[in-house]
């Protein structure tokens, strides 16, 4: 089964997002548990109940170290995901232009997002008169995929491939 570039990029981004969400969920659950224990110990102190402060401090230090480790792991995961995203969309370019002779200010634009093989998508925002339309087209190895490209979209692809 062949997977087109847009689907592959979407799946990769979705997988990276899911991994980050799961890591964030684990960190949030551990933080919530730690905060609950802290509140219970604090309430015990306020109520005058006997509490072993040394045991409490050692436990808090161990929890903080685990949270710091989890935070470091999460940071590494985010850096890794951003690196993968950069590889997936290594080649990028924007071309701004006037869609019609009556327009001015170069309010239309085409954005090429391509991988290292020149495959990916071109997103165009075309402003004409009082309306703006958005088009997304696939690009396969530096050429039009299933839909013909405009000259501005081809220009964005050529700039991105340089």
- pLDDT of 122 over the 70 cut: yes
pLDDT single digits (tens) 35-69: 888 788 777 777 777 667 777 777 788 888 888 98
Q: Alpha carbon of 21 to those of 18, 56, 80, 81, 107: distances in Å?
A: 5, 31, 14, 12, 36
User: How confident is the model at residue 124, as a pLDDT?
Assistant: 92
Segment 88-102 shows an average pLDDT of 80
Assess whether 154 and 109 both reside in one domain: yes
Assess whether 34 and 96 both reside in one domain: no
Range of the domain at 150: 91-161
The Cα–Cα gap between 148 and 121 comes to: 12
pLDDT single digits (tens) 68-86: 988 888 888 888 877 776 6
The Cα–Cα gap between 137 and 112 comes to: 10
Assess whether 75 and 100 both reside in one domain: no
**How many folded domains does the chain comprise?**
2
Tokens for 126, please give them. Answer: 């075309």
Assess whether 105 and 137 both reside in one domain: yes
Segment 104-128 shows an average pLDDT of 85
pTM of the model: 0.48
Last residue of a domain, one of 49, 73, 88: 88
Assess whether 28 and 55 both reside in one domain: yes
Which residue would you say has higher pLDDT here, 6 or 57? 57
Query: Which residues on adjacent β-strands are paired with residue 127?
Result: 132
Segment 130-144 shows an average pLDDT of 85
Q: How would residue 117 be classed by pLDDT, with cut points 50, 70 and 90?
A: confident
pLDDT averaged over every residue in the chain: 81
Tokens for 75, please give them. Answer: 């940071």
Assess whether 108 and 128 both reside in one domain: yes
User: How confident is the model at residue 86, as a pLDDT?
Assistant: 63
The Cα–Cα gap between 13 and 6 comes to: 11
Stretch (H or E) spanning 153: helix 151-161
CB count within 10 Å of CB 4 equals 14
- Phi/psi of residue 141, nearest 5 degrees: 50, 45
Q: How would residue 110 be classed by pLDDT, with cut points 50, 70 and 90?
A: very high
- pLDDT of 2 over the 70 cut: no
Assess whether 9 and 74 both reside in one domain: yes
Helices (H) and strands (E) in the chain, counts: 3, 5
Assess whether 84 and 16 both reside in one domain: yes
């Amino acid at each position: 089964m062949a997977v087109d570039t847009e689907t592959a990029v979407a799946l990769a981004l979705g997988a990276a997002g899911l991994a980050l969400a799961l890591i964030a969920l684990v960190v949030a659950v551990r933080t919530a548990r730690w905060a609950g224990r802290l509140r219970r110990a604090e309430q015990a102190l306020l109520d005058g109940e006997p509490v072993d402060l040394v045991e409490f401090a050692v436990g808090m230090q161990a929890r903080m170290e685990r949270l710091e480790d989890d935070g470091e792991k999460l940071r590494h995961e985010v850096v890794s995901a951003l690196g993968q995203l950069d590889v997936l969309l290594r080649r990028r370019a924007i071309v701004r232009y006037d869609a019609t002779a009556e327009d001015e200010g170069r309010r239309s634009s085409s954005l090429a997002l391509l991988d290292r093989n020149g495959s990916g998508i071109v997103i165009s925002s075309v402003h004409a008169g009082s309306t703006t339309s958005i088009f997304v087209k696939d690009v396969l190895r530096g050429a039009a995929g299933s839909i013909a490209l405009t000259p501005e979209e081809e220009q964005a692809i050529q700039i991105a491939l340089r």
